[in-house]
Structure 1
Amino acid sequence: MIHCNRSAFCLLLFVTLLHSVCSDFQTLAHLRANASDKSQSRAVVDLLRRLLGNRSRDFIVSVNRTLSNDTLDVCELRSAKNNKILAVGSTGVAVATGIYNYLKYFCNCHVSWSGDQLNLPRPLPPLTGVLRINTPHRFRYYQNVCTQSYSLVWWDWPRWQREIDWMALNGINLSLAFTGQEVLWQEVYLSLGLNQTELDRFFTGPAFLAWNRMGNLFQWGGPLPQSWHVKQLYLQFKILDRMRSFWMIPVLPAFSGIVPEGITRLFPQANVTKLNPWSHFNCTYSSAYVLDPRDPLFQQIGALFLTKVIKEFGTDHIYNTDTFNEMVPASSDPAYLASISLDPQAIWLMQDQVKALLHGVPLGCMVILDLFAESMPVYSSTNSFYGQPFIWCMLHNFGGNSGLFGTVESINSGPFNAIRFPNSTLVGLGLTPEGIEQNPVIYELMSELAWRKEPVNLSKWVSLYALRRYGSMDENLTAAWQLLFHSVYNCTLLQYKNHNRSPLVHRPSLRMQTDIWYEPTDFYKAWKLLFEAAPGLATLETFRYDLVDVTRQALQLLTTEFYKEIRNAFQAQKLPDLLTAGGVLVYDLLPELDRLLSSNEHFLLGVWLEQAQSQGVDKHEAQLYDIDARNQITLWGPDGEILDYASKEWGGLVEDYYLQRWGLFVNTLVECLDRGRPFKQDVFNQAVFQVEKGFVYNQRKYLSKPLGDTYEVARRTFLKYYPYTLKRLK
């Protein structure tokens, strides 16, 4: 489904190259028709201007591909006249990464999804000799196919521009570029004779397109308006142009074999298999029609689509196509997995695969993503994917969940273990989260490791992270982050996959999971230290974000404690205790959490919904996108098929969704005790579903600008609940 496609049959069909000879994927650099050295230099200059304003003039930028005698990026920095810094790199990405390294470790600056800290010294600190920043990895990959829906779906160009800047600064040179493909699919299928009604039953709404592309889901959240196609195509042009201006490699889509049902009408003799529904969906929304690659129609459709892709988007010869995401294909015969590629220079970027398929293409014409390597590496059990080059990836986040989470020890050691593995075919490191804009520290650490030759000292690294994130040497901040790395960011248990298990964000029951992987006392100490540093940093965006995020996590922990009291009181038939614990949770803690989240621009439901609605060209489309956006983060399907998978803790969502469910749960338990009746989960589920569905369709407007002072709200929350944590943990 939305996870890491570990099944042996999570296969990507359109893979093959049986008639092409691609002896070495590293020759890719010579195949690309991309930006010149001069235009790459301009791209970095423009990035610095957006990031630093007038201070960008303190840097002299030059791209010179001859600086590297192989395909590995390198940047050299040195002091120049007039207190300037000269940065020369092999690509635009290399120069941007080198400059960001200098900004981090010489200027104590920081750039993240949750704000920047760019208080540059004047003049810039000089360099003694040459600072050389280089990487042992050909590829630094970014994105998961699900990221497109969980995080990027509603983005406009300014947000995309910011993200591509972040990618360049963090050394990303290989990334999915899947935006706008549906308009090309529409052209292909209309040209074959399908009608628009058949396509409307094929495409999902925007928030679910990732699973439509993988063959999991159809029609739900649609129909997809024509205006969506136009906007997304225009956006894709800008995305590709900007990526290539830094010498990034966009990974383009290709044909996987998933076809609309209407193909069976037009081509009744075609070898099409109808698969069973996916996850908990019914046939209406989730029965994929899969065309056998041995059927001539497969090659016809694949060629039509790839021709349009190359015509509209150009190509860098790397393609990805995801299918059979948690589904079983019609056949596991290796011949079924092979087809002829239209692009003789193609390299296929794929998620970890079965042995038969890996042996079915020439070595070097496929690059494998070891998608969840920080927790479940596959390279070690497949002899480095049987000789195919692979990228060690950190998945980290499922569904874009809000909770704090990390596996820093595994992240710090895993890539270097992969390098040292016998006959290792490692060619890169990757970031493959299902959702982004959370836990920025983990992504900075992982990105930086791609430019190091050995693990970092985690205690020292996180201390320097605190310094540059806040621009402060306050010892409380350093101590707080060391505690966070020791606790919430150091999960070593395989069963935890950062699918936020907190009772807070799940439909209430008497059998909810309450275990955590870290010691709460360490986390609460970090919360206290962070709060003690707050008065001097309350105006700093990065600090306000962290103050909200850590306080949110503390209240999430306390929600679990109150839930256990509620459950125990009900089971012991102690009505007064149930009323007390339930009353605090429903009438104080959750409203307090909503006020806290509503005080910060990064934790607002209204922002997500406003972004969605802004994509509509009229009221009808805006309402369609609004429902799509609400459904994904709550019911995930018409009847809660994947309920709460993409949970978020946002201002407005806590008050109108989670709080309403908990209020109904507590009231139901009180009523059961008062009347001497058992609690029946199925009856409660029917009642609470009406609450959940009501939220999806209520059309209420939510704040898209923060309300209240973050520091004051956090201060009130801390003073109220920190003593309670001490009482709880005695």
Structure 2
Amino acid sequence: MKKMTRYRILMLFSLMIVGITAHSEPYEGVKDIALRRFPWLAKALVFNVIPGIDGNEVFELSSVKGKVMVSASTASAAAEGLNWYLKYYCNRSMSHFGDNLNALAKLPEVGKKVRVVSPYSHRYALNYCTISYSMSFYTWKDWERELDWMALNGVNLMLAPVGMEGVWQNTLRKLGYNDQEIAGFIAGPAFGAWWLMGNLEGWGGPVSQSVIDQQVLLQQKIIKRMKQIGIEPVMHGFYGMIPSSLKNKQSIKVIDQGIWAGGFKRPDFLLPEDPYFDKVADIYYSEMKKLYGEDLHFFGGDPFHEGGSSEGADLAASGKHIQKVMQQNYPGATWVLQGWQQNPANGLLAGLNKDKTLVIELFGENTNNWEKRHGYEGTPFVWSNVSNFGEKNGIYGKLQRFADEVYRAKNSPYGSFLKGVGIIPEGIYNNPVAFDVMLELGWHVDHLDLKKWIGNYTKYRYGKSNVNVDKAWALFLETAYSSPEVNQEGPSESIFCARPAIDIKTVSSWGTRKRNYDVAKFEEAVRIFVTASKDFEGSETYQTDMIDFVRQVQANKADQVYASMIDAIKSKNAGNFKSSSAKFRQMILQQDSLLSTSKYFSVNRWLQQAINFAGTKSDKANALWNAKTQVLFWGPDNNPKTDLHDYAHKEWAGMLSSIYLRRWDAFIDREFAQITSGNVSEPDYFKMENEWVKTGELYTLKPLKKRERDGLVKRILANNQ
């Protein structure tokens, strides 16, 4: 009787489970992406759960009676499978530089079942800098789109340090700080990345309570959605960063971290050996749990980032204790460290539980620290690339190197430590091809055939094949998207955006003006690409890329005109200087007109985001100041020689015709006067920049008509403008 009762109970329980399963669809969060972005496909989708293969994520695609079957082992794999069908069967795609998501009259069938297995446990995304350069003023609508794109591209681990203002505010209140003191520590919305990385404190603030509360609610939505679509958030952990004022309140052992780039005072580092470390850390994590829950498994945070002093610290002991306190508060959590410059130091790694550590090799397009440092001394790592610094414009991306190095690392003696691939751009609104190829490498076991891949890319980016588009892209791979053995921080810079001077080598302190490719061949590729424009008149993706490619041609040509200006100055030839400077000025205005035809190349988009970010008048004013400061002089406003000026310069409509033109006009007037009449004082460019930042102008777009734009494109691509 007892056996029968147990049997019946088990049977009833099994039937209940079957019933629940029958009425709930797996991976609903992934299907919701389709409903939001391409509803014409959503009704035909059927998702199924299948087991992983040897512990790896997998998806399968097939067609059954007009339905598209996506079978996957995880939500992330299901989203990647959905995107695979979208790209390689529908020729449709989503990107930061336009979408190609028009409905199809008939859905393509998957012939033979497709199975794709990821060889990696992690497909990682985002740099702290991306959060500020690209996402400072994101609303939920923006984040919802961002997360949909991330999921579709297979990302399953993503940096998500939004809303840390609330955690720190609550922590500091419990440490005896008043509201004014807290406001002096928390950075403004466009500078949060460098605050969290321990590079500065308070800059861009004060941040109001309404903004702090807004960001907390936003982060709660972000985390909830990430869980629904299979992405683990990397939160910001406590690694010893404290306000530099805390030592005035408590008798504690700290290491003064000195001055960061631009003249910013860094927060202090609280030595983990000090008993007060545990108190601060426990409060911090307790407040984290109250706001964002206990279901968090990855935490970032880098001691001694970008030259911070570790003098007097036992690195191994410090690392061990930081990780220990993290584990006490979030058992099983993984500490995610940035592999950047000399960090993480071998001494720090020596004290860590490697099974609970993940190093993100940031600069893979130029470095092979994973190899030089023996797989980070046997630590799990992710191969990634920065590619873009400061979200500067420029066609760039070492695509072949991406494919080669990932394959080489996986098949090296340190291959067992390679746990994933990732994208770590400082800015994400550029070069969509670089992000697509990098993230898709997370689903390739074999060496990627880039030329074959790019042919498929052009079809799904623009919606169809075109012989001239394919010819152009073949040349792009040989020029701007080639992989020269040259160390280069991001794209080659535009002279238009530079603070005027004679013999300018770089626009930003760590950039380069040198073109490490054949500019004539690149220009020829752009001409070929443009010949296909009538075939793609309704394509946002094609039109956006065309503007970007032509913009690059104009920026390249400007180097030659600038050189003519400088030659005329040095030879004191007033006539040549007058003609070359007039030409240069005309080119700036042409560039501004060209870029005004797209929201993606306009300062208005960025400034309007700042205005929409905040509610009150004072918050809007502060957000606008943050936005303008970041893209111009960046560093402290009492330091005209800051090495951060123009670090995040933007070759955008609105900036070209205002502050950049104003600076060059002042330079041209001064140099002409120097040639013709003698000594004239140098213009105060820093004063001009401060005046531009303080204006409320939003530089509303005034786009050209199509006929006017096409005529301008033709003139720019003419051998003689």
Q: Same fold (TM over 0.5)?
A: yes
Aligned to 1:14: none
Which SS does the other structure have where 1:107 is aligned?
coil
Q: Residue 373 of structure 2 corresponds to which residue in structure 1?
A: 382
2:265 pairs, out of 264, 272, 286, with: 286
| CA distance in structure 2 between the partners assigned to 1:37 and 1:248 by the alignment | 25
Separation (CA, whole Å) in 1 of partners of 2:237 and 2:609: 28
CA distances 1:225-282 after superposition (whole Å, capped 9, x unpaired):
1111111011001100111001211111111212123322321x2112323211131x
Question: Aligned partners of 1:689 and 1:37: how far apart in 2?
Answer: 64
Instruction: Give yes or no for contact 2:337–2:358 (8 Å, CA) kept in 1.
Output: yes
Task: Measure, in 1, the Cα distance between the counterparts of 2:483 and 2:504.
Answer: 20
Question: In structure 1, which of residues 428, 450, 457 is the aligned counterpart of residue 449 of structure 2?
Answer: 457
C-alpha distance in structure 2 between counterparts of 1:583 and 1:438, whole Å: 30
Whole-Å separation in 2 of the counterparts to 1:162 and 1:320: 24
- Root-mean-square deviation (CA, aligned residues, Å) is 2.0
Q: Does 1:193 align with 2:176?
A: yes
Q: Secondary structure at the match of 2:433?
A: helix
- Is 2:92 the counterpart of 1:105? no
Equivalent in the alignment of 1:486: 478
Match of 1:635 among 621, 633, 636: 633
SS in 2 for 1:367: strand
Q: Does the CA-based 8 Å contact 2:253-2:271 persist in structure 1?
A: yes
Q: CA deviation at 1:70?
A: 4.4
SS at match of 2:646: coil
Rounded Cα–Cα distance in structure 1 between residues aligned with 2:317 and 2:79 = 44
Task: Give the Å deviation of 1:636.
Answer: 0.4
Of 344, 349, 363, which residue of structure 1 is paired with 2:331?
Answer: 344
How far 1:39 moved relative to its partner?
Answer: 7.1
Query: Deviation at 1:162?
Result: 0.7
Q: Which residue matches 1:23?
A: none
| Residue 651 (structure 1) aligned to one of 646, 650, 653 | 653
State TM-score, norm by structure 2: 0.91
Paired residue type of 1:337: G
Among 620, 624, 627, which residue is 1:626 paired with?
624
Cα distance between partner residues in 1 of 2:303 and 2:209: 25
Where do residues 10-21 of structure 1 align in structure 2 (5 Å cutoff)?
none
Question: Are 1:718 and 2:697 matched, yes or no?
Answer: no
Structure 1, residues 318-346: CA drift from partner, whole Å, max 9, x if none?
11113422123243522233313222312
Residue segments in structure 1 that go unaligned for 5+ positions in a row: 1-34
- Following superposition, the deviation at residue 615 of structure 1 comes to 2.2
- Residue of structure 1 equivalent to 2:704: 708
Deviation of the 1:602 alpha carbon:
1.3
Pick one of 470, 473, 483 that aligns with 2:465: 473
Deviates more, 1:237-246 or 1:611-620: 611-620
Which residue in 2 is equivalent to 1:512? 504
> Which residue does 2:302 correspond to in 1?
322
Q: Partner of 1:563: helix, strand, or coil? A: helix
Kindly state the Cα deviation for residue 37 of structure 1 after the two structures are TM-superposed: 12
Paired letter, 1:511: D
Task: Choose 716-725 or 646-655, whichever is displaced more.
Answer: 716-725
Report the equivalent of 1:12: none
Classify 1:261/1:473 alpha carbon distance in 2 versus 1 (closer, same or farther; 3 Å): closer
| Aligned mate of 2:673, from 668, 671, 676 | 671
Structure 2 partner of 1:429 = 421
Q: Deviations over 1:599-619 (max 9, x none)?
A: 112112111111112222222
- The answer for the alignment partner of 2:274 in structure 1 is 295
Quote the Cα distance in structure 2 between the aligned partners of 1:194 and 1:273: 21
Q: Hey, what does 2:352 align to over in structure 1?
A: 361
Does the 8 Å CA contact 1:273/1:330 hold for their aligned counterparts?
A: yes
**Which residues in structure 2 correspond to 1:528-567 (within 5 Å)?**
528-567=527-566
Give the Cα separation in 2 of the matches to 1:492 and 1:208: 33
Matched, 1:130 2:113: yes
CA deviations over 1:91-131 (Å, ceiling 9, x no partner): 11111111211221122222211122234544322223321
SS of structure 1 residue aligned to 2:289: helix
Within 5 A, what are the aligned runs for 1:602-613? 602-613=600-611
Q: Distance in 2 between matches of 1:212 and 1:49?
A: 37
Residue equivalent to 1:306:
285
CA distance in 2, matches of 1:470, 1:401: 24
State whether residues 391 and 430 of structure 1, in contact with CA within 8 Å, keep that contact through their aligned partners in structure 2.
Answer: yes
Q: Is the 8 A contact 1:601 1:706 kept in 2?
A: no
Q: SS state of the match for residue 501, structure 1?
A: coil
What is the correspondence of 1:34-433 to structure 2 with a 5 Å cutoff? 41-62=27-48, 64=49, 66-81=50-65, 83-119=66-102, 121-267=104-250, 269-281=251-263, 285-314=264-293, 315-331=295-311, 332-333=313-314, 334-339=316-321, 340-341=324-325, 342=328, 343-352=330-339, 353-424=344-415, 425-433=417-425
Q: Distance in 2 between matches of 1:438 and 1:77?
A: 31
Q: Residues 227 and 447 (structure 1 numbering): CA distance in 2 closer, same or farther, change over 3 Å? A: same
CA distance in 2 between partners of 1:387 and 1:142 (Å)? 22
Q: Look up the equivalent residue of 1:694 and give its one-letter code.
A: E
Deviations 1:522-559 (A, max 9, x none): 11111211221112312211111011111111111111
What do the CA deviations read for 1:444-468 (whole angstroms, capped 9, x no partner)? 1111111111232222222222222
After TM superposition, the score normalised by the length of structure 1 is: 0.90
- Give the C-alpha shift of residue 317 in structure 1: 1.7
1: CA distance, partners of 2:267 / 2:307 = 10
Partners of 1:266 and 1:719 lie apart in 2 by 66
| Equivalent pair of 2:365/2:386 in contact (CA under 8 Å) | yes
State how far apart, in whole Å, the 2-side matches of 1:542 and 1:92 are.
Answer: 28
| Residue-pair matches, total | 677
Higher mean alpha-carbon deviation, 693-702 vs 399-408, is at 693-702
Separation (CA, whole Å) in 2 of partners of 1:182 and 1:431? 25
Displacement of 1:40 in angstroms is 5.6
Give the equivalent residue in structure 2 for 1:4: none
Aligned CA distance change for structure 1 residues 691 and 230 (closer, same or farther; 3 Å): same
Query: Which amino acid counterpart does residue 620 of structure 1 have in structure 2?
Result: S
Partner-residue secondary structure (3-state), 1:293: coil
- Superposition deviation, residue 435 in structure 1: 0.8
What is the CA–CA distance in structure 2 between the aligned matches of 1:392 and 1:287, rounded to whole Å? 29
Displacement of 1:702 after TM fit?
1.8
On the 8 A contact 2:565/2:577 being kept in 1, the answer is: yes
Q: By how many angstroms is 1:288 displaced?
A: 2.4
Q: Are the equivalent residues in 2 in contact too, given 1:547–1:714 (CA < 8 A)?
A: no
| Cα distance, 1:69 vs structure 2 | 4.5
Are 1:399 and 1:499, in contact at CA under 8 Å, matched by a contact in 2?
no
C-alpha spacing 1:492/1:323, structure 2 compared with 1 (3 Å): same
For 1:611 and 1:350, how far apart are their aligned partners in 2?
30
The 8 Å contact of residues 198 and 261 in structure 1, kept in 2 or not, is answered as no
Provide the rounded CA distance (Å) in 2 between the counterparts of 1:403 and 1:557: 10
CA contact (8 A) 2:395 2:491 kept: no
CA distance in 1, matches of 2:242, 2:495: 39
Question: Matched residues in 1 for 2:73 and 2:151: separation?
Answer: 13
How far apart in 2 are the matches of 1:264 and 1:40?
53
Q: Which deviates further from its counterpart, 366-375 or 338-347?
A: 338-347
2:597 counterpart residue number: 599
Contact map agreement 2:91 2:464 (CA 8 A) in 1: no
Preserved contact between residue 109 and residue 117 of structure 1 (Cα < 8 Å): yes
- Identical aligned pairs, as a percentage? 29
Q: 1:403 is paired with a residue of what secondary structure?
A: coil
Question: Is 1:370–1:378's contact at 8 Å kept on the other side of the alignment?
Answer: yes
CA gap of 1:423–1:593, structure 2 versus 1, over 3 A, is closer
Question: Would you say the 8 A contact 1:524–1:554 is kept in 2?
Answer: yes
Say if 2:631 and 2:648, in contact at 8 Å, map to a contact too. yes
Counterpart of 1:364 in 2: which secondary structure?
helix
Residues in 2 aligned to 1:667 and 1:472: alpha-carbon distance in whole angstroms? 50
